[in-house]
Amino acid sequence: MGVRMNLMEPFETALDFQTGVLRPAGRIIKRHLSDMRGMYADANAERKVFESEGDRLIYEVHAVDLPEKTGLVLYCTTIIHPGRIGAEYHMTKGHFHEKRDRSELYLGLAGEGYLLLQADDGTVRGLPMARGTMAYVPPLWAHRTANTDDEPFAFLAVWPGDAGHDYGTIEQSGFAKLLVDGEQRVNLVDNPNYGLITRTT
């Protein structure tokens, strides 16, 4: 259990810019491959990872423990460990905000990655992120991040307390584009499973 902050008292959090770790530690969520079954396009590659190494840790969220309330600002860091499932880079599950018109701000801390954004009509945009990149997630866009380098990719996220998270829409239909490892560069390619029910458990 991490420290729960008193939202009516001033407090400070120490952010390690190299690792993305917050002190005091609040809520830490670890997402393994089993939490994302069916989200990577290459089902064979996913199965091979399970067979050869078990349930791989993909990313961690280090959250300052505050209630999800209107008027509050929430913040956390995400650390995506390097690696790929098939050609696809390690990534977050991705979500819309439950209140779709709530926006968000990301700040790159360490490593290199991509922010993938998707509108309701399937339009996808990709923004490269590195240390110091401030990326704006507009209202109405689903968002997912991926680590496109060989080191951990860490970023800070700040968003309104009443935004909420809708994971179901992405779990059902996926993103229209995949971020895959290409020759010397990151490629954004069509997702063959887009619009299909991709989650198996």
Q: Does 173 bind ligand S6P (CB under 6 A)?
A: no
Which residue stretch of 75-83, 104-112, 178-186, 193-201 sits at the interface with Zn ion (rule: CB under 5 A)? 104-112
- Residue 11 one-letter amino acid: F
Please give the Cα distance from 201 to 188 (Å, whole number): 27
User: Minimum CB separation from ligand S6P for residue 185, in Å?
Assistant: 24
DSSP 175-198: -SEEEEE-SSSEEEEE-TTTTS--
| 137-166 binders of ligand S6P (CB under 6 A) | 143, 145, 157, 159
* Residue 96 beta carbon to Zn ion: minimum distance, rounded to whole angstroms: 8
Pairing status of strand 177-181 against strand 186-190: antiparallel
118 binds, among ligand S6P, Zn ion, none (CB under 5 to 8 A by kind): none
Find the helix or strand (DSSP H, E) in which 52 lies: helix 43-53
List binders of ligand S6P among 28-47 (CB under 6 A).
Answer: none
Closest to 149 in 3D by CA, of 76, 80, 73: 80
DSSP 3-state of 98: coil
β-sheet with 27-32: strand ranges across:
27-32, 57-63, 73-80, 153-160, 104-110, 134-137
Q: How many residues of this chain bind ligand S6P (CB under 6 A)?
A: 12
Q: Which residues contact 57 (CB under 8 A, 6 or more apart)?
A: 30, 31, 32, 81
- The least distance separating Zn ion from the CB of residue 121, rounded to whole angstroms, comes to 19
Stretches 17-25, 97-105, 119-127, 181-189: which one binds Zn ion (CB under 5 A)?
Answer: 97-105
Shortest Å, Cβ 184 to ligand S6P: 27
Name which of 78 and 118 has its Cβ closer to ligand S6P. Answer: 78
CA 154/CA 148 separation, integer angstroms: 12
User: Could you say which of 15, 49, 78, 107 contacts ligand S6P (CB under 6 A)?
Assistant: 78
Residues that bind Zn ion (CB under 5 A): 104
Residues that bind ligand S6P (CB under 6 A): 61, 76, 78, 92-95, 104, 143, 145, 157, 159
